[in-house]
Amino acid sequence: MFDLSGRKALVTGATGGIGGAVARALHAQGATVALSGTRAEKLEGLASELGERVFVVPANLSDMDAAEGLPGQAAEAMGGLDVLVANAGVTRDNLMMRMKPEDFDAVIDVNLRATWRMSKACLRGMMKARHGRIIAVSSVVGTTGNPGQTNYAASKAGLTGMIKSLAAEVASRGITANLIAPGFIATPMTDVLTDDQKAKIDDTIPAGRMGTPGEIAAAAVFLASDEAAYVTGSTIHVNGGMAMV
Amino acid sequence: MSDIAERVQKITVEHLDVDASKVEPKASFIDDLGADSLDIVELVMAFEEEFDIEIPDDAAETIQTVGDAIKFIEERKK
């Protein structure tokens, strides 16, 4: 099950903890992967670790033209594109009273607008192929909200509406569109927290611990697989029971 | 039937899985040939590739019938 041999996947934000794990997992199931992110050197590092069936396509997704062009670049490199994992995201946290409009816009640009651009750019090829998987990495805060993250939570909730609508539009063509909503995941981003802060977070999670990037990647493997053909417009929440929605 | 009309008919038959005799100039893709909005998008994509032209979105919206498509493409290929 979940064999991805011959499938070609673009993973954005592959320099990050979750994106890297997703790329590794898809690759381990046999997929050819195109790694995208802003730091080319780090992508090259992951690419050499994976060895074969891997391409590097750096992009800055705050640039909408770059976002729109990325799937085409990846398809050219891999000889097709079956799976988009739109994982790249940024945060610029602050209380709304202190947040600058630019902080709102910058987060919406990368997390929501760029994902829309990339998804649109994938559709022509996927429609012709009568097959495609669009997977957006959302967040639990897109559902629950979170103080300090009016911009980030809005972008993630926006993804949900977008992906559900897209799922309805293209379901008849063998294309699925789904979301993965991680809760707290242990990544370099959470490494900076103190032990005390981490313990407080763990207390809010029924599972009693943060998730691992691999646990997000497992959901991505499932959604990318042929076995998930009938799953569309869904959100897989991977959060240790932190929010049961 | 002109060469363009023949190719438009062939593509329409293939994409919408309809009988060629129904694909006449006055046939509406949606009302007569059972196309939905996504079918129209796909047909336009197929016409673009077949005739190596670009059909902008605002023009695509005016293509309602088989005749509209033939006329648009004939004008572009002049």
Domain that holds residue A35: 8-235
Grade residue A189 by pLDDT with cuts at 50, 70 and 90.
Answer: confident
Q: Is domain B1-77 given the CATH code 3.40.190.10 in the classification?
A: no
Question: So which residues of B are the catalytic ones?
Answer: 36
Chain B residues with CB-CB distance to A169 below 8 A: 38
What is d(CA A9, CA A20) in angstroms, rounded to the nearest whole number? Answer: 13
Identify the residue among A120, A128, A165 best suited for mutation to test binding to B, counting B beta carbons within 10 A and taking the highest. A128
Active site residue A152: yes
What is d(CA B70, CA B6) in angstroms, rounded to the nearest whole number? Answer: 9
pLDDT digits (tens, 9 = 90+) for A207-244: 999 999 999 999 999 999 999 999 999 999 999 999 99
Query: Please, is A163 exposed, middle or buried when counting C-beta atoms within 10 Å of its C-beta (0-12, 13-18, 19+)?
Result: buried
Q: Is the CB of residue B45 less than 8 Å away from at least one CB of chain A?
A: yes
Count Cβ atoms below 10 Å from residue B6 Cβ, excluding itself: 12
Average pLDDT taken over every residue of chain B:
93
Q: Do B38 and A128 touch (CB under 8 A)?
A: no
* Predicted ipTM beyond 0.85: no
Determine contact, residues A222/A228, Cβ cutoff 8 Å: yes
Please state, in angstroms and as integers, the Cα–Cα distance from residue A170 to each residue in A91, A133, B33, following that order: 30, 11, 20
Tokens 């891999």, located at residue: A78
Count Cβ atoms below 10 Å from residue B20 Cβ, excluding itself: 11
Q: Structure tokens of A141? A: 């805060």
Chain B residues with CB-CB distance to A132 below 8 A: none
pLDDT digits (tens, 9 = 90+) for A131-164: 999 999 999 999 999 999 999 999 999 999 999 9
CATH code of the domain covering residue A161: 3.40.50.720
Nearest CA in chain A to B46: A128
Binding site residue list of A for NADP(+)? 38, 87, 152-156, 185
What DSSP line would sit under B35-50, residue for residue?
--HHHHHHHHHHHHHH
CA nearest A239: which of A124, A141, A115?
A141
Q: Do B38 and A124 touch (CB under 8 A)?
A: no
**Does residue A65 sit within a domain?**
yes
The domains of chain B are located at: 1-77
What is d(CA B73, CA A55) in angstroms, rounded to the nearest whole number? Answer: 39
Q: Do A169 and B45 touch (CB under 8 A)?
A: no
Into how many domains does chain A fold?
1
**Does residue A241 sit within a domain?**
no
pLDDT digits (tens, 9 = 90+) for A24-72: 999 999 999 999 999 999 999 999 999 999 999 999 999 999 999 999 9
Chain A residues with CB-CB distance to B38 below 8 A: 127, 169-170, 172-173
What is d(CA A37, CA A29) in angstroms, rounded to the nearest whole number? Answer: 22
Average pLDDT over residues A168-174: 97
Chain B residues with CB-CB distance to A128 below 8 A: 45
